[in-house]
């Protein structure tokens, strides 16, 4: 063995990095065969031998171990083993009195004895413990304690060495886990008293009512307190929280500052609007049909010297677990971005972040969780790190973990997304606070997600009316005998001499008094009729807005959209296609995507920001859009919409991941938080939007009625029967129509590019008005470039969006018209083409219903008045009878039909599948439908 060389020139210097084990292993190989190691390493070993660890004492220890490199290597491996597997021996389950795998970390596993370790220097174990331990045995004991205590860590999966070193360094240095001051300990105890007393008060006062008590994971509140205060200290201006039912009332009361009396009032009767404090510290909105109390959100402003220091938002949430996650991430992205300048918005991830609180059954069970985690590092969606908390009560309803997931931990999914995970025993408030500090520090440093698995239990049944002893007797026998965290922590503080039983008692009584006083202030339920009607602004529909744009401006914008920097080489074929747009204005050849680009340009000039995402949306699924150009040589991108003269707002366009529910939820959230922004989500084909059905049902269509949550989101859903089979034809128009009521959204199925231009502009102009609502567009596919769907300059510069469009050239002799054909979308163009073959066109007319909801009753009635001899109103559609618009329009047409006028259906018969798989069968059906439409 080469003797250790401690001379100052030694290039190993004070080497004692975590890789010492590896270096030693290399050195062993080198001794066996010098040629088997990396040449650079060989050179070092040739000249200097193996690294020395420290001078003096360290050196002596290594010298003592000289000749025993194998042991040193084993000790180093042993230390890494503790880091990797310490979590398996941790004390993280409050219901377990004994550690499950107490011997897992024994040194015997590595053929080491205590004497061996005592003989080695501490630096063999960790470079993060300089001078703290006099030998490896002490260091190992320390590592065992910190890696398998009441917080455990899973960092091995982290892919970047720098992050991993930081994380392990943090744990081993204990920087995030300082001893709390006695004042802080007392404050935490007081907080736990508030948490527990509040639940107990509800339990006693509102017997048998659901509240989804927090008890068992009470430390969620100090955890949130700490994350919020640490990050606000670090400059965060906005925190958005998403969570389900569990502990929500407690979070509302104690984190969001919702007055107790408001919560109590909601237990007795509907939300009481009079109780909203007027000083503006709380923003709460109500819909007209409302929601249960444990779904309601809130907005809190943290004030300091009359100025807002930070804003905390708890998002409104439906029962559907975890679906709020992408919505909240959308809020955060919106809060981080400055949209007031052309180009992509400027993002500042330190301004804002999301906290998502998950259930231990829902986190592994709901696919939207994985989709949302996948957004976390993508250019168009990342928010610089979300802090995830699993409020883990080890049960979901009545289902225990072994039936709930195939993974050891509820959190395991997060590991695939390079997210550090800590598990913490919810009965140890100090460990919980330490975990939250680590999360905040990590996010601030690496701008990535972090997960805290807060492991507690659930004191009662799923809700307070459930009896868990019937289904989970063993677990609940333990829980019934388990003291509350307030009791446990109180005992600890009393042992430390920080708290006396009298003070603890006083704290509890003070909180109870506060609760009682608040309860006494709750007004009695009012007898008068509860108003469930939408407000006037909603009933009135969309106000008239001017969507015209002067011709000269359109011409100028058109040219600007065809400019790119000198030397920027667009793919030649594409360049030729785009340049055709130059003459299209004069030639009445403005196609769909062209009209869209012009609409966007005019909207940006008016200072309204735009955000458009979807799968392949930069180019467009049908190669129609091309709003992001690529230089064929450098691969660089350029978007002309970022450079239009006079542009006053940002234009964000992103190809989304192959997800629907998370992306649509994100865009909805973005738009709710940034209502001034025209946000569009595009489905690849409209069919796929049903993967996002929960967001459509629970948020977009009903959010305003439930929560007063306004949105002007646009959904572009390619729709139309072109023989592409069951999955590329139908956007399921019927579903949007069945959800349509109370002016909750606009559903349009248009046939002309100018209509698209005007409806986009109309939407942009109503974004900040009370009447705003989402816009669902059945977007075209074959109509994208169809000559009959193209428009001319005047169609854009003048006019507006028309809810109905008569077929030009028909009805010249009004008294002869017997049949009125009504239709919507692509079939109208098929009918228009078919017209060419028909000789006698005098007996019918065609009216295209471009806006299906709100249904244009007045416009159709006015049109009908011009044709007094109409005997039949024929609804023609290409979708099967049980789909498309038929079931929605039939009763409305019956209202419009005068005596003696029949309402008739022409289209496919009812089907279980949307469309034929065989193109030939499709063609035959289309032909038949067109034929029937024109058969007397
Ligand atoms: C998508 C969805 N499916 C089913 C339910 C019904 N449900 C409500 S709570 C719950 C159990 C949730 O367990 P967990 O995620 O562990 O949260 P906990 O209630 O235990 O806090 C279930 C199945 C729901 N709300 N949402």
The closest-lying atom of ligand 1 relative to the alpha carbon of residue 396 is 13
**Closest to 905 measured CA to CA, from 888, 921, 923, 918:** 888
Q: Any residues with CB less than 8 A from the CB of 513 and at least 6 apart, and which?
A: none
Helix (H) or strand (E) holding 154: strand 151-154
Chain position carrying tokens 């969606």 = 381
**Which H or E element spans position 332?**
helix 324-336
Alpha-carbon distance 612 to 682, whole Å?
8
Closest protein CA for atom 15 of ligand 1: 359
Using the mean position of ligand 1's atoms as its centre, give its distance from the Cα of residue 113 in Å.
49
Q: Is the CB of 712 under 6 A from ligand 1?
A: no
Could you read off the pLDDT of 710-748 as tens digits, one per residue? 999 999 999 999 999 999 999 999 999 999 999 999 999
The Cα 718–Cα 641 span in angstroms is: 23
With a 6 A CB cut-off, is 359 part of the ligand 1 pocket? yes
| Ligand 1 near 247 CB (within 6 A) | no
Closest residue (by CA) to atom 2 of ligand 1? 320
At residue 288, the pLDDT reads 87
Query: Which residue among 396, 410, 476, 692 is best mutated to probe the pocket of ligand 1, counting the most ligand atoms within 8 A of its Cβ?
Result: 396
What pLDDT sits at residue 1?
A: 27
pLDDT at 539: 86
Is any atom of ligand 1 closer than 6 Å to the C-beta of 369? Answer: no
What residue owns the CA closest to ligand 1's atom 13?
396
Question: What is the CA(464)–ligand 1 centre distance, in A?
Answer: 15
Peptide bond into 854 cis (omega under 30): yes
**DSSP label at 111?**
T
The tokens of 9 are what?
Answer: 């020139």
317 vs 246: CA distance, rounded Å: 12
421, β-bridge pairs: 154, 451
- Secondary structure (H, E, C), 138-190: HHHHHHHHHHCCCEEEECCCCCCHHHHHHHHHHHHHCCCCCCCCHHHHHHHHH
How confident is the model at residue 92, as a pLDDT? Answer: 96
In contact, 524 and 261? CB cutoff 8 Å: no
Stretches in the chain below the pLDDT threshold 70: 1-22, 24-25, 40-41, 43-44, 47-67, 99, 130, 269-285, 526-528
Whether the Cβ atoms of residue 215 and residue 515 lie closer than 8 Å to each other: no
Rounded to 5°, the CA angle 923-924-928 comes to 115
* Maximum separation of any 2 CA atoms in the chain, in Å: 113
The pLDDT of residue 187: 98
CB atoms within 10 A of CB 796: 25
User: By C-alpha distance, which of 43, 63, 67, 39 is closest to 53?
Assistant: 63
Distance 466 CA to ligand 1 centre (A): 14
CA distances to 90, 104, 151, 401, 447 from 148, in Å = 4, 10, 7, 21, 27
pLDDT at residue 61, as a whole number: 54
């Amino acid at each position: 063995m080469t003797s250790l060389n401690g001379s100052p020139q030694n290039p190993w210097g004070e080497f004692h990095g975590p890789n010492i084990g590896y270096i030693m292993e290399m050195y062993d190989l080198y001794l066996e065969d010098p040629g088997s190691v990396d040449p650079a390493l060989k050179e070092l070993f040739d000249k200097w031998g193996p690294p020395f660890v420290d001078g003096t004492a360290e050196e002596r220890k290594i010298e003592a171990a000289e000749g025993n490199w194998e042991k040193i290597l084993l000790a180093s491996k042993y230390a890494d083993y503790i880091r990797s597997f310490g979590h398996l021996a941790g004390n993280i389950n409050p219901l377990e009195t004994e550690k499950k795998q107490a011997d897992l970390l024994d040194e015997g596993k590595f053929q080491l004895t205590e004497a061996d370790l005592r003989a080695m220097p501490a630096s063999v174990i960790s470079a993060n413990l300089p001078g703290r331990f006099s030998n490896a045995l002490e260091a190992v004991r320390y590592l065992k304690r910190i890696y398998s205590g009441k917080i455990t860590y899973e960092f091995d999966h982290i892919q970047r060495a720098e992050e991993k070193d930081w994380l392990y360094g943090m744990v081993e240095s204990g920087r995030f886990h300082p001893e709390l001051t006695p004042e802080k300990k007392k404050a935490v105890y007081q907080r736990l008293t508030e948490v527990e007393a509040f639940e107990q008060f509800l339990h006693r006062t509102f017997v048998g009512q659901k509240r989804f008590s927090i008890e068992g994971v009470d430390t969620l509140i100090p955890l949130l307190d700490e994350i919020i205060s640490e990050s606000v200290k670090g400059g965060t201006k906005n925190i958005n929280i998403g969570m389900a039912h569990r502990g929500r009332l407690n979070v509302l009361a104690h984190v969001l500052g919702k007055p107790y009396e408001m919560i109590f009032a909601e237990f007795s009767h509907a939300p009481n609007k009079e109780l909203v404090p007027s000083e503006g510290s709380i923003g709460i909105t109500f819909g007209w049909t409302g929601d249960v109390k444990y779904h309601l959100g809130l907005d809190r402003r943290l004030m300091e010297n009359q100025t807002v220091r930070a804003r905390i938002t708890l998002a409104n949430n439906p029962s559907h677990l975890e679906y709020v996650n992408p919505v909240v991430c959308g809020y955060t992205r919106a809060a981080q971005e400055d949209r007031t300048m052309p180009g992509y918005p400027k993002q500042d991830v330190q301004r804002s972040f999301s906290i998502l609180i998950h259930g231990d059954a829902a986190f592994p069970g709901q696919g939207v969780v994985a989709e949302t985690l996948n957004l976390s590092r993508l250019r168009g969606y990342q928010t610089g790190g979300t802090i995830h908390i699993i409020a883990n009560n080890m049960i979901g309803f009545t289902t225990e973990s072994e039936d709930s997931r195939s993974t050891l931990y509820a959190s395991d999914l997060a590991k695939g997304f390079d997210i550090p995970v800590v598990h913490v025993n919810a009965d140890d408030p100090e460990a919980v606070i330490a975990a939250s500090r680590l999360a905040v520090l990590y996010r601030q440093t690496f701008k990535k997600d972090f997960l805290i698995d807060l492991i507690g239990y659930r004191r009662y049944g799923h809700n307070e009316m459930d009896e868990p002893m019937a289904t989970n007797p063993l677990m609940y026998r333990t829980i019934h005998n388990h003291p509350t965290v307030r009791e446990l922590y109180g005992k600890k503080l009393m042992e430390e001499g920080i708290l006396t039983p009298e003070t603890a008692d006083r704290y509890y009584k003070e909180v109870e008094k506060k609760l009682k006083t608040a309860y006494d202030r709750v007004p009695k339920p009012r007898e008068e009729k509860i108003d469930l009607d939408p407000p006037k602004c909603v009933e009135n529909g969309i106000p008239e807005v001017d969507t015209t744009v002067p011709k000269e401006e359109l011409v100028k914008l058109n040219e600007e959209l065809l400019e790119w920097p000198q030397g920027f080489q667009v793919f030649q074929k594409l360049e030729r296609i785009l340049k055709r747009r130059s003459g299209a204005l004069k030639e009445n050849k403005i196609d769909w995507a062209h009209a869209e680009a012009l609409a966007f340009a005019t909207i940006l000039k008016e200072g309204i920001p735009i955000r458009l995402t979807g799968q392949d949306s930069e180019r467009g699924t049908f190669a129609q859009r091309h709003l992001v150009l690529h230089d064929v040589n450098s691969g660089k991108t350029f978007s002309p919409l970022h450079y239009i003269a006079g542009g006053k707002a940002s234009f964000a366009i992103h190809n989304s991941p192959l997800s629907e529910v998370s992306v649509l939820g994100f865009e909805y959230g973005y738009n709710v938080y940034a209502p001034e922004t025209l946000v569009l989500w595009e489905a690849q084909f409209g069919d796929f939007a049903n993967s996002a059905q929960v967001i459509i049902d629970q948020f977009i269509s009903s959010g305003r009625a439930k929560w007063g949550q306004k949105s002007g989101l646009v959904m572009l859903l390619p729709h139309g029967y072109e023989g592409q089979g069951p999955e590329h034809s139908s956007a399921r128009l019927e579903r949007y129509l069945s959800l349509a009521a109370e002016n909750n959204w606009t559903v349009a199925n248009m046939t002309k590019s100018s209509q698209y231009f005007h409806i986009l502009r109309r939407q942009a102009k109503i974004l900040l008005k009370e009447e705003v609502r989402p816009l669902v567009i059945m977007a075209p596919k074959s109509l994208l470039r169809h000559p009959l769907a193209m428009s001319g300059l005047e169609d854009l510069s003048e006019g507006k969006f028309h809810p109905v469009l008569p077929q030009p050239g028909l009805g010249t002799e009004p008294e002869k018209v017997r049949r009125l054909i009504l239709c919507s979308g692509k079939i109208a163009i098929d009918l228009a083409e078919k017209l060419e073959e028909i000789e006698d066109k005098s007996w019918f007319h065609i009216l295209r219903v471009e806006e299906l909801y709100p249904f244009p009753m007045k416009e159709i009635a006015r049109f009908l008045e011009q044709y007094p001899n109409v005997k039949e109103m024929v609804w023609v559609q290409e979708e099967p009878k049980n789909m498309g618009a038929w079931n929605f329009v039939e009763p409305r047409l019956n209202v419009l039909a005068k005596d003696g006028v029949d309402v008739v259906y022409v289209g496919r018969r009812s089907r279980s599948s949307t469309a034929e798989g065989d193109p030939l069968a499709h063609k035959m059906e289309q032909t038949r439908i067109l034929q029937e439409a024109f058969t007397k």
